[in-house]
Structure 1
Amino acid sequence: MRIAFTILIGIHGVIHLFGFLKGFGLSEFKAISEPITKSLGILWLLTALLFLFTLILLWSNKTWWIMGIIATILSQWLIVMYWKDAKYGTIVNAIMLIAIVFAYASFHFKQKVNKEITQLLTAASVPNNQTLQQVSDLPIPVQRWIKKSGILDKGPVKTIDLEQELQMLMSPEQETWQHGKATQHFSISPPAFHWKVNLHMNPVLEVVGRDQFENGKGEMTIKILSLLPVVNAKSNEKLNQATLQRYLAEIVWFPSAALSPYITWEGVNENSAKAIMSINGTTGSGTFHFDQEGTFEKFVAQRYKDVEEHAKPIEWSVTSNKTEVRDGVWIPVELEATWKLEEQDWTWLKLKIGAVNYKTN
């Protein structure tokens, strides 16, 4: 798509260059029947250069749309002046304008996301309860898990950054997995996360999403091409609880959070324990299952899949398929999430963990 756009705008810029050549008598350029003065010829050259710089910025992943809007405005002004011969150039400028709108939307979305991430990381503080003495107060399966992970060897963990590759299904009827990449940031004190995902639905269509948990509240945003909203949910008790339970499930990537005062534990059996998390009026729970050595195997909770008024919680599980060391910590790196629907078990998410960074200060 970017290559096709580059070719189109490149040709458009070359045509403007011929306007300059005609103005200085260097080319007849019969496509424009009216004469072009030297002063206007300079404007044709300037427009061509602006389109060239726009393409350079585009391939440099810079804010090309700023240069693009200037080039498009100047180009359209010249087209209006020579409307009889140049009017079809308006089509290219219209395409350019649409691309600029989506590029600005993407820029604005990224700016918003970066601001939220900065706020999360700035608000984080170093927990003061991540010690072996605290571990001894937990159910035996949880003790084995924390010790097995090696997380306490890193000292008190303040924030966690990780990269993800994922496959996702949007509905139980969908058969083709959508591929995407995500980045996620966590803090333990206070408990919060920020998750940003890019899904490629096809070579043209990209969907971006942002989930956030902060102060016991959850938010979910999904947009097509960073502009067209598909989901924008917040200020909902069901969403708050579901997002809290997601945070609870994801402490498998930073087990020291199990020592936090907002989580209480109840032993279930020799390999399982129930966690109850409560923060700022939002409460949720789930059961962690481990093997005999303390490696995480599965998390199960009754969780809201939908947040409509009459929605009811159903079984939701996260299963580990592979465990490895990341940044010195033994964590699950390949996982699947499944909803237990009335008619079937629907696995809708497959996740692979890439780089992980634990920050202690």
Structure 2
Amino acid sequence: MHALIHLLGFVSAFRLASVPQLTGKTIFTLPTEAFLPLGLLWLVAGSLFFASALLFLLKKEWWWMIGATGLVVSQALIILYWPEAKFGTVANLIMLTGIVLAYGSWNFKAMVTRELARFNAPLITEREIITPKRLSDLPPVVQQWLHHAQVIGKENIQTVHLQQSGEMRISPEGKWMPVIANEYFTVAKPGFIWVADVKAAPFLHLAGRDKYENGRGHMLIKLLSVYPVADAKGKETDQGTLLRYLGEMVWFPTAALSNYIRWEQLSENAARATMSYGGVTAAGIFRFNKAGDVISFEAKRYYDRKEGPTLENWLVTVDPHSCREFNGIRVPTKSDVTWKLKTGDFTWFKLEVTDVVFNKAINPSGTLQPTIAETNSYEMAR
């Protein structure tokens, strides 16, 4: 409809039909010969809006570029023809909102794609097959876990791609918000990139990217994929992301054999894992049931507060009944993440792993799923 209205400006300027509402009144006097070029600009603006609408319907992520160009031309004409066209500004503001949302989603996704391209590690051609002898130096409880996870006879895991769903909240009394996420790991050079989309409310989402690379962590969260609301980095974040990698190792258990992890058995059902990498060292305790499944991971991790981060107990509880096989390896799929604070337990994340792929090269431009952000921008533009 907005595009069609622009075509009326073209029709009026070229006198192709009578348009009583458009007399050609401008904010300052123009020579007669200027109206035909301006009529062509009305046609250009309308055509750009038509093109962006078509690209939008085809779900081309770059539709906003065409729409933004049309918006600039349109608003310039509206200002010039302000006495008769001023109400078009309202439609342009609505269009601008959709364009900003689409740009935010496109820009955030482009950033992640670039990071994944750098993060992507070439796979080693001669892949190691895990043997019982390879486990012999580990504590018995860790050996039992790896046997139960069915790693014997399987290839050593080099890369991982997970798809996740779940819900999170940002305060103990806060509402639960749906989350969809993709996470990518490399093992020889430990690291991960976690890309999440959180639906905070209808038409309101948070885009998150947590990263652990070269021993350094960085958490970035943007409201509507545009406005940064969290941008955490530094030694506390480095320690936290290292611990996250260590705890999430249950999804790619052959990483327990890595030379940057040292194991110590504490009891018949518990072992401490100490990870040292990139000048940062941290440790956590894995607990197992009698069958050999991991049931929890606990560590001292930095908790963000207004007055500064403090070391608190961080607990990941794992549902052993949720175990599934992916590429022949048995891993848990459901877990809860809880801060054990002095004021009480704060469970802030409940997640489920829905798919796991091992030892496949990361395709930076082809692996990211449509997000809540994109859905919101489509709906707003519509």
Q: What's the TM-score, normalizing by structure 2?
A: 0.85
Aligned partner of 2:144 in structure 1 is 144
Aligned partner of 2:218 in structure 1 is 219
Aligned residue pairs total: 349
Partner Cα distance (1:294, 1:337) in 2: 21
Deviations 1:297-340 (A, max 9, x none): 11111211127786432211111122222232211111101111
1:277 aligns with 2:301: no
Maintained 8 Å contact 1:152/1:256? no
Q: Bigger CA drift: 137-146 or 34-43?
A: 34-43
2:24 pairs, out of 26, 34, 59, with: 34
Deviations 1:249-282 (A, max 9, x none): 0000000000000000001112211100000210
Name the SS of the counterpart of 1:122 in structure 2: coil
Maintained 8 Å contact 1:124/1:187? no
Maintained 8 Å contact 2:199/2:206? yes
1:21 aligns with 2:11: yes
Maintained 8 Å contact 2:165/2:179? yes
Aligned partner of 1:303 in structure 2 is 301
Partner Cα distance (1:140, 1:309) in 2: 43
1:292 pairs, out of 271, 290, 293, with: 290
Structure 2 CA distance for partners of 1:269 and 1:360, relative to 1, 3 Å: farther
Name the SS of the counterpart of 1:170 in structure 2: coil
Q: What's the TM-score, normalizing by structure 1?
A: 0.90
Name the SS of the counterpart of 1:153 in structure 2: coil
Structure 2 CA distance for partners of 1:94 and 1:237, relative to 1, 3 Å: same
Question: Residue type of the partner of 1:292?
Answer: K
Partner Cα distance (1:292, 1:201) in 2: 40
1:198 aligns with 2:197: yes
Aligned partner of 2:51 in structure 1 is 53
Q: What percentage of aligned pairs have identical amino acids? A: 38
Summarize the alignment of residues 1-361 of structure 1 with structure 2, pairs less than 5 Å apart: 11-34=1-24, 39-59=37-57, 60-122=59-121, 130-174=130-174, 176-234=175-233, 236-306=234-304, 311-321=309-319, 322-359=322-359
Aligned partner of 2:29 in structure 1 is none
Partner Cα distance (1:311, 1:360) in 2: 37
Query: Structure 2 regions of 5+ residues with no counterpart?
Result: 26-33, 362-382
Partner Cα distance (2:76, 2:336) in 1: 55
Partner Cα distance (1:360, 1:128) in 2: 15
Query: Structure 1 regions of 5+ residues with no counterpart?
Result: 1-10
Partner Cα distance (2:360, 2:49) in 1: 47
Maintained 8 Å contact 2:327/2:357? yes
Shift of 1:240: 1.1
Name the SS of the counterpart of 1:351 in structure 2: strand
Maintained 8 Å contact 2:163/2:183? yes
Structure 2 CA distance for partners of 1:150 and 1:278, relative to 1, 3 Å: same
Aligned partner of 2:365 in structure 1 is none
Greater relative CO, 1 or 2 (CA 8 Å, sep 6+): 2
Shift of 1:52: 1.4
